[in-house]
Amino acid sequence: MLENSPQNLVPSDCDNAARANGKEVSMPWRKYHPKKGRYGPISHIARGVQVRRDARGKWTLFVDRDGSRVNRTMGGGRKALVKAIKAGEEIKSQLLVLCPRNRF
């Protein structure tokens, strides 16, 4: 197990730079309740869209659609997690436009 557990990764008082600028702290991963994975938390954004950590400690966006899987590695750290979640939300909105009957 990596030393970056969900408790160490997302403390509630960790964004001092945003607080110093007087901005509200935006943490998009808190909208999704992560499951415990082998290498770290797995956040399910929508049906077939998930963000998880791989064996190298990098955040990866997985999209399973029509029996095929596409994945993109965003990198390590908090900025990469935010980037992966925002990309997953954008894909979710595109999938919702393509098939409005499917509620994610």
Contact call for residues 53 and 40 (beta carbons, < 8 A) = yes
Contact call for residues 88 and 94 (beta carbons, < 8 A) = no
Q: Where along the chain do its domains lie?
A: 13-98
Q: Using one digit for the tens of pLDDT, what is the confidence trace for 41-98?
A: 999 998 889 999 999 999 999 999 888 899 999 999 999 999 999 999 999 888 877 6
CA-wise closest residue to 73 among 32, 10, 34, 83? 83
Contact call for residues 33 and 67 (beta carbons, < 8 A) = no
The rounded distance, in Å, linking the Cα atoms of 46 and 21 is 33
* 13-98 CATH pick, 3.90.1200, 3.90.228, 3.30.160, 1.10.10: 3.30.160
In terms of pTM, does the model score above 0.75? no
